[in-house]
A and B are shown apart, each in its own frame.
Chain A
Amino acid sequence: MKYLVWSLVVALIILHQDFWNWDNANLVFGFIPVTLLYQVCISLGAGITWFLAVQFAWPQELEYIEQQMEEKKGEE
């Protein structure tokens, strides 16, 4: 799953380079410029990707550091 998450991040970076929309002046739903809508979808994609990242690729070892800090605090 970790690899999938990082692959999604790389895919987002590539998809962000939307040269295929460079000269596209269409308005989606009659008012949203397609250039803007496409990049808004990239933002939504980023939100979903980072949600998956914190679920499946979170550095678990840091929870141990928190525990250490709590113990140290207790000793003090």
Chain B
Amino acid sequence: MVFEPGVTQLVIICFYLALLLALGLFSNRLFSGSSKDYMLASHSIGPFLLLMSIFGTTMTAFALVGSTGESYKEGVGVYGLLASSSGIIHSLCFFVLGVKLWSLGRKYGYTTQIEFFRDRLESDKLGLLLFPVLVGLVIPYLLIGVMASGTVVTAVTRGAFPVWFESTQGGVPGWLGSLVICGVVLTYVFFGGMRGTAWANTFQTIVFMVLGLVAFFVIASQIGGKEGLWANLVAASESIPRDKLVRAGNPSMSYLRFATYMFVPLSVGMFPHLFQHWLTARKASNFKLAVVAHPLFIMIVWAPCVLIGAWAAGNLVPIPPAVDANANAILPFLVKRFSGDVLGGFLTAGVLAAIMSSLDSQFLCVGTIFTNDIVVHYGGKNRFTDKQIVMIARTFIILIVAITYGLSLLDYRRVFTLGVWCFSGFSALFPLVLAALYWKGLTKAGAYASVITAISLWCYFFYQSDFAGNPHYSVLDMMPVAPMLAGSTLALILVSLVTPRPSEETLQKFFPAKDS
């Protein structure tokens, strides 16, 4: 039986999405009905699930689609920019911040970052400042996933419906692909909560890692047009233009820009969805596997993608102008070009898995923040039943999915560039969480000054960069994150030094004497 091109891929994608829905609905059967279970899976997550859910959450469209596209545009130096640096910095954050925040969360019953900061700094209003900042920064992160999922679905289903969708050459339009992906993620988050999210993340992380490697070998064994894997690898790499092999002469990779890129992965210290994942751990030692394996997992995912992107920049594969103009489409284009319909469908499912494994945590986290830090905090803990709290979280999740989807229809930006802006904003808030955990001298006013400085600088630089339209934007030849981080750190220290500290009781609570 012969199908229109793209139909087989579409059927496999639909099958994969149905499988995810089933997983989400099944995890709902284990749902105890309590808000703690919905938001934190009752602190029941073991080391393997913790590793996979944290890794799946951190690796989004940015890792597969974004890294390939960015390598196609900027060359193999992209790996050093974010992958290897993330391997060092992410695990550092898990080790230095994650474990400590987990212990405080378990001890004092926190669910969100805002609860922790309110308590630590004795400031109710600080939550009102942090809420729009954190949610506002998560939204571009969500947009990355929603936009990329639409691009991927369009690219691989091209030819399936030539009569219905002429403008996309028969491919399912991006708006429709994104809508379906949002619907699926929303459904399993809605029903499964954190447990469903952790399970789905684990399943999807395995899927995208395995299929990512399969994609690499499929492409690598054919791209050079030679016989055998080795001959193709050599031919493909020899075709990479010199400017994609080196960083010299690339405006995106001056020494200073490269060095200051290292500040970008500090963002994981302030990701609200990661905070929530940290708190799901059953015990502190469950973090050990995540700390060790995270850099290796990043390597397994990023290195093949970066190499594929650089190969695409060579002259072995003619890249159509439409794909060349949209770097996010490079990986799906190559997958479709070099694999059969069935394998192509599975590989596409892998790419979508990477995207959805981040979207789910972010949707859940935004719903949790709104419910815990606004509705329950100001409405009063005794005003709502646990069932009502879960319902409020679910309602807000639907709202945030709808808003994100609407925004994704407005404009196109390079996934990588948009991602770096979002991460930079979170990185600029890093001094706040570090000081809150390790510096008794941090004050409420210092925290306000730090957050306001960080977000003001972010808004100013974002505006200057044509709202992420200019991927080479820098400040004094540095990544914008460097002055943002310096500004927020300086504001935090200077203001804290001249303003009153929290009460002795609070300091004792967070910095107990060693011998007690």
Task: Give residues in A with beta carbon < 8 Å to B.
Answer: 9, 12-13, 16-19, 21-25, 27, 30-33, 35-36, 38-40, 42-44, 46-47, 49-51, 53-54, 58-59, 62-63, 65-66, 68-69
Contacts and interface: CB of A to CB of B under 8 A. Distances in A.
B506 interface: no
12 contacts: A16-B88, A22-B246, A25-B246, A33-B76, A39-B79, A39-B80, A39-B84, A42-B87, A42-B88, A43-B84, A43-B295, A47-B295
B284 A31 contact: no
A54 B255 contact: no
A76 B247 CA distance: 60
Nearest to B233: A31
Contact of B288 (A32, A33, A43, A58): A58
Sort A-B residue pairs by CB-CB distance and give the 4 closest, nearest first: A46-B295, A43-B299, A62-B284, A23-B248
A31 B307 CA distance: 10
Contacts of B84: 16, 39-40, 42-43, 46
B88 A12 contact: yes
Given A33-B245, A35-B245, A65-B107, A27 B293 contact: no
B234 interface: yes
A9 B88 contact: yes
Nearest to A23: B248
Contacts of B236: 31
B87 A46 contact: yes
Contacts of A17: 255, 258-259
Contacts of B246: 22-25, 35
B347 interface: no
Interface in B272-319: 283-285, 288, 291-296, 298-299, 303, 306-307, 310
Q: Kindly name the residue among B233, B234, B299, B310 whose own CB sees the greatest number of chain A CB atoms within 10 A.
A: B299
B123 interface: no
Contacts of B296: 43-44, 47
A5 to B, nearest CB: 10
B95 A66 contact: no
B106 A43 contact: no
Given A12-B88, A31-B237, A63-B285, 6 more contacts: A16-B88, A25-B242, A36-B306, A43-B296, A54-B291, A59-B99
Contacts of A63: 284-285
A5 B276 CA distance: 28
Interface of B: 76-77, 79-80, 83-85, 87-88, 91-92, 95, 99-100, 103, 106-107, 230, 233-234, 236-238, 240, 242, 245-248, 255, 258-259, 262, 283-285, 288, 291-296, 298-299, 303, 306-307, 310
A15 to B, nearest CB: 10
A39 to B, nearest CB: 4
A63 B303 CA distance: 36
B106 A50 contact: no
A35 B76 CA distance: 7
A54 B247 contact: no
A62 B103 contact: yes
Contact of B255 (A19, A39, A40): A19
Contacts of B247: 21-23, 35
Contacts of A38: 80
A39 B253 CA distance: 15
Contacts of A47: 87, 292-293, 295-296, 299
B109 to A, nearest CB: 11
Contact of A59 (B79, B88, B100, B292): B100
Contacts of A33: 76, 237, 240, 245, 307, 310
B76 A50 contact: no
Nearest to B232: A31
Contact of A66 (B76, B91, B283): B283
Q: Kindly name the residue among B83, B84, B91 whose own CB sees the greatest number of chain A CB atoms within 10 A.
A: B84
A68 to B, nearest CB: 8
B106 A40 contact: no
A28 to B, nearest CB: 10
B32 to A, nearest CB: 15
A62 B83 CA distance: 30
Contacts of A65: 103, 106-107, 284
Contacts of A13: 88, 262
Contact of B83 (A18, A24, A39, A44): A39
B411 to A, nearest CB: 32
A35 B292 contact: no
Nearest to B255: A19
A14 B409 CA distance: 42
A30 B85 contact: no
Given A33-B76, A59-B100, A63-B285, A43 B87 contact: yes
A22 B248 contact: yes
Nearest to B80: A39
B169 to A, nearest CB: 33
A31 B237 CA distance: 5
B262 A35 contact: no
